[in-house]
Amino acid sequence: MSNVETVIDVKGLTKIYGDKTVVDNFDLKVPRGSVYGFLGPNGSGKTTTIRMVCGLLTPNAGSGTCLGYDVIEQSDEIKKRVGYMTQKFSLWEDLTIRENLEFVARMYEVDNRKQRVDQALEGLGLSGRSHQLAGSLSGGWKQRLALAACMLHDPDLLLLDEPTAGVDPKARREFWDTIHELADKGVTILVSTHYMDEAVQCDFIAYIAYGKKLIDAPSAELVDRVGLHTWRVEGTGLSALTKKLEATPGVELVARFGTALHVSGLDKDALRKAVSGYFDQPELTWIERKPGLEEVFIHLMTGTEDNFQ
């Protein structure tokens, strides 16, 4: 990252509502043109974190810069250069697609509005639907419209808050293709999600649980950094086996994945010793495998205290 421009550099960001610390001492560095994923359970502080990082919400403590501007003193400058796509569709359902985009273009005082709206419609495949009411669109088409509106003023930074919630798998794939095209053009993208298959689309991942950052790393390195080891077992009697394994030293996590169990631990030798006692059972098939992001996420969440209860 040393040779890449850092567009976000914040330290110690903290947000408190009443007696609840919603985000606790958050640090983050984001290079230009990267797709940075924020993972965590609902209510973990992902949205609040993203808003503070980009100057959209004033923290109670902390400091830093975004796009070269101070996140506290120059937040208005940051807002002009940010596109923000909320989880809930927030455009006007009783206006057409074109009317929505024209209104947003006026709000941002975009030059050559008609040409820019036409380009936005064409770029995201909305031209043939431009006179359709936004309220009549499916989830996938609403998503395209919201993204087109975010990009009208050519933002340097795009914030996506659970952008594919309620969208079908095909639309989700097409959406991520578009996101990577934008990143290739130098747009930096922060995206919150709880879909593991979307997490692997990100260049970097930060896990957040109940306001605390558990880890952040390049997505390709995250599993190795946690140091988790995993065995996969298939067969019969898995429910009973789960209870036995959970009580076995060396086993820190037993998670069901379809018709199999993934058994994980941080000590490779202790884990093998724990599971090897079941190798001679003919109804079970064991395979050592590299853990995925989902096992890592479950492991990180284990024992994390929900301070919001």
DSSP per-residue string spanning 8-36? EEEEEEEEEETTEEEEEEEEEEEETT-EE
Specify whether 65 is located in the same domain as 160: yes
Domain end marker among 223, 243, 274: 223
User: What would the pLDDT profile of 195-235 be if each residue is shown by its tens digit?
Assistant: 777 788 899 999 888 888 888 899 888 888 888 999 999 99
Specify whether 88 is located in the same domain as 233: no
Specify whether 245 is located in the same domain as 126: no
Q: What is the pLDDT of residue 235?
A: 94
Specify whether 252 is located in the same domain as 103: no
3-class DSSP state of 129: helix
Specify whether 183 is located in the same domain as 268: no
CA–CA distance, 125 with 117 (Å, rounded to integer): 12
The answer to whether position 285 is within a domain reads yes
Tokens standing for residue 257: 């994945």
Specify whether 134 is located in the same domain as 195: yes
Q: Burial code of 239-267, b = ≥16 C-beta within 10 A, e = fewer?
A: eebbeebeebebbbbbbeeeebbbbbbee
Specify whether 262 is located in the same domain as 155: no
Q: How many CB atoms sit inside 10 A of residue 153's CB?
A: 18
Specify whether 93 is located in the same domain as 52: yes
As to burial, measured by CB atoms within 10 angstroms (0-12 exposed, 13-18 middle, 19+ buried), residue 16 is middle
List the strands of the sheet with 204-209, edge to edge. Answer: 82-85, 157-161, 188-193, 35-39, 204-209, 212-218
CA–CA distance, 37 with 64 (Å, rounded to integer): 19
The answer to whether position 184 is within a domain reads yes
3-class DSSP state of 102: helix
Q: What is the pLDDT of residue 303?
A: 54
Q: What is the pLDDT of residue 1?
A: 45
How many CA within 13 A on the CB side of residue 145?
Answer: 32
At position 39, the amino acid (one-letter code) is L
Smallest CA-to-CA distance from 228 within 139, 123, 299, 307 is with: 299
Any idea what the CATH number is for the domain that residue 255 is in? 3.30.70.920
Specify whether 75 is located in the same domain as 168: yes
Helix axes 139-151 and 113-123, enclosed angle (nearest 10): 140
DSSP code of 262?
A: E
Q: What is the pLDDT of residue 308?
A: 46
Q: What is the pLDDT of residue 304?
A: 53
Residues in the chain, pLDDT under 50: 1-2, 307-309
The answer to whether position 164 is within a domain reads yes
Q: What is the pLDDT of residue 2?
A: 46
Domain end marker among 223, 245, 266: 223
Specify whether 203 is located in the same domain as 233: no
Specify whether 159 is located in the same domain as 280: no
The answer to whether position 120 is within a domain reads yes
> What's the distance, Cα to Cα, between the start and end of the chain in Å?
38
The answer to whether position 297 is within a domain reads no
The answer to whether position 305 is within a domain reads no
Q: What is the pLDDT of residue 4?
A: 63
Residue 60 CB contacts under 8 Å (≥ 6 apart), including other chains: 14, 15, 16
The answer to whether position 295 is within a domain reads no
What phi and psi, each to the nearest 5 degrees, are found at residue 170? Answer: -65, -45
- Look at the chain and report how many structural domains it folds into: 2
Which residues form the domain of 86? 6-223
The answer to whether position 300 is within a domain reads no
Specify whether 213 is located in the same domain as 261: no
DSSP code of 307?
A: T
pTM, two decimal places = 0.82
Q: Which residue has the tokens 């567009």?
A: 7
